[in-house]
């Protein structure tokens, strides 16, 4: 099967370009990036392609970019399938232009053994239309005491190891896990946070939290957690990714660690890039995320760090929660927001606000996460898999959470005006989503 995308606005994060052109896909792989004005008939003759098995897709000047690689998606299997299953998460991902989801192990029970990992891999392969790559827990039960069978779990397909929002507070346990992970070549993804300082916090300390009377954590807790982890990386030489950097105060430490040659990368979440603490307003629990939303100054500093490349990746941090766990007083309500389907439209806010251009956004959404995981995707280049998203960056709409494909509809963007919609999503050359 051959696909030819013509009249496409190609977003190439590797070259940093945003220009019109065409893209040839054969048997699920990108085989050629072509200049604008390529004449299909001529091309097929020159390449000796049988025109009977060809589909020509006229993109009408809309954007064609590598599909999003989303590190840190929570699918609630096993344990809470009523919140999200592999099927619904996969459909949501396809509708959001996400072609690879890297799933979190913070399920109930945690994905901490090869057997559980094999179970979820089977479920994912059977049900999800996009690539699903599982992460496994770094410690058993995510309780920070004993490391998991990192070697066996890698053999079973784990692409990274993380205790998610549980910080391994025992430094000795964490340093051993990092040392062992290094010997396996495993990537460890950690949540930089000083857990005792942030215990019980529902907001970021400041005027707003004081006014609302919410228990709050200083943004400094993130830097303290990152500082500790960086010191452990110097000790162990492990391969490390910070899941979410959300504060300006943490950035200089990250910059120094990178300059010192440590194997460290960092991500941030789309919510921290597009929302701030004031969005919580009158205790709106859909805006409760972990870590809590930050000040506007922090948001802008983090966006700038994505622009310079100091922060490598942007994730949805997709966290489905049912109505019951959100319809509670703010302090008691569960944290997290669904975001697979809103990731791209929300990211377009940064584009329309002139904070980030499209190649930079897709560097953080697709290229960098793929590179960090050693995947060939995330690029618009010959030889890369044809994981693609076709989208209109300008199309306006009002977000209606009940239209989401996720089983849970806890999105903070409900009712908001947004711009940018996915028109079609392709996974290894096969269409998995088409907007009607």
Partner 1 sequence: MSSPTSPPLSPTGFGHRHLLGIEPLKPHEITAILDLADSYVDLNRRPEKHSDALAGLTQINMFFENSTRTQASFEIAGKRLGADVMNMAMQASSIKKGETLIDTAMTLNAMHPDLLVVRHPHSGAVDLLAQKVNCAVLNAGDGRHEHPTQALLDALTIRRAKGRLHRLNIAICGDVAHSRVARSNLILLGKMENRIRLIGPPTLVPGQFAEFGAEIYDDMREGLKDVDVVMMLRLQKERMDGGFIPSEREYFHRYGLDAEKLSHAKPDAIVMHPGPMNRGVEIDGTLADDINRSVIQEQVEMGVAVRMAAMDLLAQNLRAERSATAD
For residue 71, give the H/E element and its range: strand 68-73
The reply to whether 330 sits near partner 1 by the rule CB under 8 A is: yes
Which CB sits closer to partner 1, 172 or 327? Answer: 327
CB of 283 to partner 1, least distance (A): 3
Q: Using alpha carbons only, what angle is made at residue 330 by residues 328 and 332, rounded to the nearest 5 degrees?
A: 60
CB of 285 to partner 1, least distance (A): 9
In which residue are the tokens 């001529």 written?
Answer: 42
CB of 287 to partner 1, least distance (A): 12
Which CB sits closer to partner 1, 79 or 213? Answer: 213
Neighbours of 322 (CB within 10 A): 17
Integer Cα distance of 156 and 115 in angstroms: 9
The reply to whether 82 sits near partner 1 by the rule CB under 8 A is: no
Closest CA to 29 of 314, 359, 381: 381
CB of 203 to partner 1, least distance (A): 10
Pairing, β 131-134 against β 161-162: unpaired
The reply to whether 414 sits near partner 1 by the rule CB under 8 A is: no
Residues 199 to 228 in contact with partner 1, rule: CB under 8 A: 200, 205-207, 209-215
- Applying CB under 8 A, which of residues 46, 126, 259, 329 lies at the interface with partner 1? 329
CB 25 within 8 A of CB 5: yes
CB of 279 to partner 1, least distance (A): 15
Which CB sits closer to partner 1, 16 or 213? Answer: 213
- Applying CB under 8 A, which of residues 50, 52, 261, 327 lies at the interface with partner 1? 327
Integer Cα distance of 5 and 381 in angstroms: 14
Per the structure block, which two tokens stand in for 140?
A: 């058993």
Total residues at the site for partner 1 (CB under 8 A)? Answer: 20
Residues 271 to 300 in contact with partner 1, rule: CB under 8 A: 282-283
The reply to whether 331 sits near partner 1 by the rule CB under 8 A is: yes
* Sheet strands (E) in 158-277: 161-162, 187-190, 203-204, 216-217, 239-242, 264-269
Which CB sits closer to partner 1, 271 or 288? Answer: 288
The reply to whether 46 sits near partner 1 by the rule CB under 8 A is: no
Q: What is the DSSP string of 17-36?
A: EEEEEEEEEETTEEEEEEET
Which CB sits closer to partner 1, 41 or 329? Answer: 329
Instruction: With contacts defined by CB under 8 A, name the span among 142-150, 321-329, 412-420, 424-432 that binds partner 1.
Output: 321-329
List residues binding partner 1 (CB under 8 A). Answer: 200, 205-207, 209-215, 282-283, 324, 327-332
């Amino acid at each position: 099967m051959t696909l030819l995308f013509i009249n496409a606005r190609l977003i190439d994060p590797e070259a940093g370009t945003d220009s019109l052109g065409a893209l040839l896909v054969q048997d699920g792989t990108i085989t050629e990036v072509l200049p604008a004005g390529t004449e299909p008939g001529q091309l097929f003759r020159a390449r000796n392609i049988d025109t009977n098995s060809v589909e020509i897709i006229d993109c009408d000047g809309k954007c064609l970019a590598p599909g999003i690689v989303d590190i840190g998606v929570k699918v609630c299997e096993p344990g809470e399938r009523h919140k999200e299953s592999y099927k619904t998460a996969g459909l949501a991902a396809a509708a959001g232009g996400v072609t690879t989801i890297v799933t979190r192990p913070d399920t109930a029970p945690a994905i901490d053994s090869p057997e559980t990992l094999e179970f979820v891999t089977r479920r994912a392969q059977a049900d999800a239309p996009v690539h699903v790559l599982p992460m496994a827990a770094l410690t058993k039960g995510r309780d920070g005491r004993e490391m998991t069978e990192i070697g066996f779990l890698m053999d079973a397909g784990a692409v990274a190891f993380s205790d998610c929002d549980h910080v391994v507070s025992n430094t000795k346990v964490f340093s051993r896990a990092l040392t062992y992970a290094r010997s396996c070549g495993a990537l460890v993804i950690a949540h930089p946070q000083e857990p005792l300082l942030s215990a019980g916090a529902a907001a970021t300390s400041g005027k707003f939290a004081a006014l609302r009377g919410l228990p709050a954590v200083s943004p400094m807790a993130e830097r303290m957690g990152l500082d500790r982890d960086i010191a452990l990386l110097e000790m162990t030489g492990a391969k490390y990714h910070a899941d979410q950097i959300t504060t300006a105060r943490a950035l200089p430490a990250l910059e120094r660690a990178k300059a010192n040659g440590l194997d460290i990368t960092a991500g941030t979440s789309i919510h921290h890039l597009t929302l701030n603490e004031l969005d919580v307003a009158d205790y709106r629990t859909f805006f409760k995320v972990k870590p809590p939303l930050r000040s506007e100054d922090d948001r802008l500093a983090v966006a700038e760090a994505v622009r310079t490349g100091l922060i490598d990746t942007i994730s949805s941090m997709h966290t489905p929660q049912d109505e019951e766990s959100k319809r509670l007083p703010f302090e008691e309500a569960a944290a997290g927001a669904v975001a697979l389907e809103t990731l791209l439209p929300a990211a377009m806010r940064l584009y329309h606000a002139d904070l980030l251009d499209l190649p930079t956004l897709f560097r953080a959404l697709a290229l960098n996460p793929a590179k960090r995981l050693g995947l060939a995707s995330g690029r618009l280049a010959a030889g890369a898999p044809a994981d693609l998203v076709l989208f209109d960056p300008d199309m306006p709409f009002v977000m209606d959470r009940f239209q989401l494909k996720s089983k849970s509809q806890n999105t903070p963007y409900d009712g908001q005006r947004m711009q940018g919609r996915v028109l079609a999503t392709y996974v290894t050359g096969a269409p998995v989503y088409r907007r009607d």
